Structure 1
Amino acid sequence: MQETVVRVICAIGQSGQLGLHGQLPWEGNSNPEYVADVARFFDITRGHVLMAGPKTIGAVPEFARRDRTLVVLRSHMDPEATLKQYAGRVVFIGGGPPVWDVYAKYVSHWDVTRLPYDGPADRWFNPKWLTAGNQPG
């Protein structure tokens, strides 16, 4: 059986900011670097599986729902069993800290873009996620 390829693509602020009040801290910013980052996300995930919590999946715009498989993750779901359902596919894990705390050990590639945002946040990128899959046991 083919292996599931698990990846993350995300953007962070200059100090590792990820979220503020349940959304991206730079949500709605129309400066070119932010617009390009969103376009890049939808381009890279096109044709693949995007797994995330209900709020993140709910925020995927209608145009993007047609060309990727969307899976809502719930806390009761077993990560290994969930990922095995998509053997041979590329799966992107979205949704931020609560989801990445669980799925980081399965991620083989982190694609992190640092944006020029340097304002407030209440969710932060945890560098430990980058090595979670390399830990023994």
Structure 2
Amino acid sequence: MADIRCICAIGLSGQMGLKGELPWEGDPRPEFRADVERFFDITRGHVLIAGPKTIGAVPDFAAKEMTLRIARSHENPEDVLAEFADRVVFIGGGPPLWDVYAKYIMHWDITRLPYDGPADRWFDPKWLLTGKGRPL
């Protein structure tokens, strides 16, 4: 069985997205740049399953160092995960994907960033309660 993980960042109030982007996208402060670097360091050599927009945003240098897999809404998550048995798999791409894959995630790595502005997507604590095979 694959080792299923999630790595994400949230704002001070759980903000995750704004108009299809990270709400802090382009913020030059060191903690935001460090979070992006940390994401690529931790996922290097592993599998990233995400939606097409997230996969499309992975820079070439990082894409060469990981296995990328686009998740589609019509696919059975167990079939997708079975493609990567005995691998470390990160589920990326935000709330729509985590609503489906949360029950398979064994480890959540969440960074709290100093962002306290607007958002239209939020981290849902229920994802943490459904992991390791517990039903939604």
Same-fold call, TM cutoff 0.5: yes
Say how many residue pairs are matched: 135
**Alpha-carbon RMSD:** 1.1
Identical-pair percentage: 69
| Structure 1 unaligned regions, length at least 5 | none
Amino acid at match of 2:91: I
Among residues 9, 12, 24, which one is paired with 1:11 in the alignment?
A: 9
Tell me what 1:61 maps to.
59
Task: Report SS of the residue matched to 2:80.
Answer: helix
Tell me what 1:22 maps to.
20
Q: Is the 8 A contact 2:48 2:69 kept in 1?
A: yes
Between the aligned partners of 2:131 and 2:17, the Cα distance in structure 1 is 24
Task: Report SS of the residue matched to 1:133.
Answer: coil
Tell me what 2:130 maps to.
132
Shift of 1:4: 0.4
CA 1:76 to 1:136, structure 2 compared with 1: closer, same or farther past 3 Å? Answer: closer
Tell me what 1:87 maps to.
85
Between the aligned partners of 1:7 and 1:49, the Cα distance in structure 2 is 10
Q: 1:95-106 alignment to 2 at 5 Å? A: 95-106=93-104
Residues 82-126 of structure 1 show CA distances to partners (whole Å, capped at 9, x for unaligned) of 101100000000000100000000000000000000000000000
Between the aligned partners of 2:135 and 2:125, the Cα distance in structure 1 is 17
Between the aligned partners of 1:136 and 1:6, the Cα distance in structure 2 is 16
Task: Report SS of the residue matched to 1:10.
Answer: strand
TM-score by length of 1: 0.96
- Quick check: 1:51 aligned with 2:45? no
Shift of 1:133: 2.1
Shift of 1:62: 1.1
Shift of 1:136: 5.4
